[in-house]
Each structure stands twice: as structure tokens, then as C-alpha cells.
Amino acid sequence: MSPVGSVYSSLVPQAMARADALREKQAASAALATLPDGMRAAAPGANGFSEMLNGLVSTVDAKQTQANELTQKVLLGETDQLHQSVIAMQEASVAFSLMVEVRNKLVESYQELMRMQV
């Protein structure tokens, strides 16, 4: 499997699952809003989107840490699997690039919203 495929197969399903969970939280929150004040339970956490982004950042960080550990083992002569080290470095690089592009799109979307006239 190519490094791009492995990053895609590990990051995108996680992001989709987190997005689905966020949608379910929002639907539950909307349902709670329709209840009378006396019947409302404690509202679910409002930081679902930030949790999703933190999860993606931690995944990228874990990939970079793993790549650094494998590289260090190869440099110290503890293992001779250079190819695994190179693959891990490429996966970490692609994951980081993907994260930066997602951030750029989020910033661009925010800026577009701020330019809209009300």
C-alpha cells in the first residue's frame, strides 16, 4: 500500500466517524432545545468540533513520533529495517501535509464568512 493510501485509510475514516458523532451530538442538542425548561437534561459538550481537530492533530503527532523512533533505531543500528523507517517518515509527512491543508481550508472558510454582508 502506498504511503498516501495508508494515511488516507487511517485519517479519513477517523475524521468521518468523528464528524458523524458530532452530527449526532448536534441532533441531540437540537432535540433538547425543543423540550420545556423543566425537562431538559444537561446539554452535551459543545466542544465536539475541537475534540475532532485535537484527535486529528494527535494522530499526526503519533505518526511523527513513530517515524522519529524508527529512524533513531535505524541510526543507532538497533534494526536494519530502513524501508520501514522511510515509509513511516513519508506517512508522517503526508499526514502533516493533509492536516495543514485542512487548516488552510478552515481558515479560508472563516475568512469567507467574515467577508459576507449581513
Cβ contacts of residue 51 below 8 Å, gap of 6+?
18, 45
Mean pLDDT of the chain: 80
91 close to 7: Cβ distance less than 8 angstroms: yes
For the chain, domain boundaries:
3-115
CA distance 29 to 48: 12
pLDDT band at residue 39 using 50, 70 and 90 as cut-offs: very low
Q: Which of 16-20, 29-33, 40-44 has the lowest mean pLDDT?
A: 40-44
pLDDT band at residue 9 using 50, 70 and 90 as cut-offs: low
CA distance 65 to 51: 21
